[in-house]
Amino acid sequence: MIRSALMNVMTAAALKAGRGLKRDFGEVENLQVSVKGPGDFVSAADKRAEKTVFEELSRARPGYGFLMEEGGRVEGSDKSHTWHIDPLDGTTNFLHGLPIFAISIGLEREGQLVAGLVYNPATDDLYIAERGQGAYLNNTRLRVAARRDLADALITCGIPPLNRAAGHARFQSELANVMRHAGNVRRLGSAALDMCFVAAGRCDGYWERGIQTWDMAAGIVLLREAGGFVTDADGGGEMMANGTICCGNESIHRRLLDLLREADMGRRAAPLKAAQL
């Protein structure tokens, strides 16, 4: 596999920031037992990683715009290119010493996602993809799993945390419906890696509501290049605009969308039934 100049630039930025995150991850273990806990330390690690990625990419591709979790939007002189960056996806895992976190870098050109990279420094797994060029994990070509039967499938999802409790009821009804049909369900805690795991055929499908462009931009490219299907939770193409995602191979993706729709219809019908009693 020959890496393009663009992918070399993205890889260099991610590996550099990843070295820092790996060091900091080691330190987090020691801070667990302190009274204050590792909260402030992790937020500093997050910001440092973002600064590194920002500086590296700005130097290599001057003028491109940025949309970053910590720094927000930075307009560039080149209006046709935007980086979508999450320097630490899976913060809660990182904070608790769980090695499921990643740096996620996606590139949008003229409104189309054209390149994605997700790097987990704890496992040294580097997922990369460019539009039309296939998806790779550490130089091995990726392909979504072939499983067609939902009863054999391992599905991942995102659970809205306590500070987004308004989303709990809807999530619970969706989860209940998915659990009725799927082999089993996981909540892994990094949207970027959830998507990579589906691209790599490790998991069969994933859905989540309330995620951001920096969580999903890289993963979308990886999934598509691995032969996966990815839409928003309503089956449309507005993932980046409405912050919802549903993906899998063709059949699992379709079944998952059906289950989400059913769950939603059930929720809307429920108050009606209660009123009729």
Binding site for Ca ion (CB under 5 A): 69, 86, 88-89, 215
Of the listed pieces 32-40, 142-150, 187-195, 254-262, which binds ligand IPD according to CB under 6 A? 187-195
CB of 236 to Ca ion, least distance (A): 22
Nearest to 208 by CA among 195, 226, 221, 223: 195
Question: Which single residue brings its beta carbon nearest to Ca ion?
Answer: 89
Is 211 a binder of ligand IPD (CB under 6 A)? yes
3-state secondary structure of 159: coil
* Amino acid sitting at position 167: G
* Contacts of ligand IPD in 75-104 (CB under 6 A): 86, 88-92
Residue number with CB closer to Ca ion (204 or 208):
208
Q: Where are the alpha helices (DSSP H) in 182-246?
A: 191-199, 213-225, 239-242
Of the listed pieces 107-115, 122-130, 138-146, 207-215, which binds ligand IPD according to CB under 6 A? 207-215
Is 191 a binder of ligand IPD (CB under 6 A)? yes
* Residues in a beta bridge with 154: 184
Task: Please count the residues of this chain forming the interface with ligand IPD, following the rule CB under 6 A.
Answer: 15
* Lookup: tokens for 204: 């069969």
Q: How far is CA 68 from CA 21, 105, 195, 230, in A?
A: 17, 9, 19, 22
Contact 262, 177 (CB under 8 A): yes
CB of 268 to ligand IPD, least distance (A): 24
* Lookup: tokens for 236: 């449309």
Contacts with ligand IPD, residue ranges (CB under 6 A): 69, 86, 88-92, 158, 189-191, 208, 210-211, 215
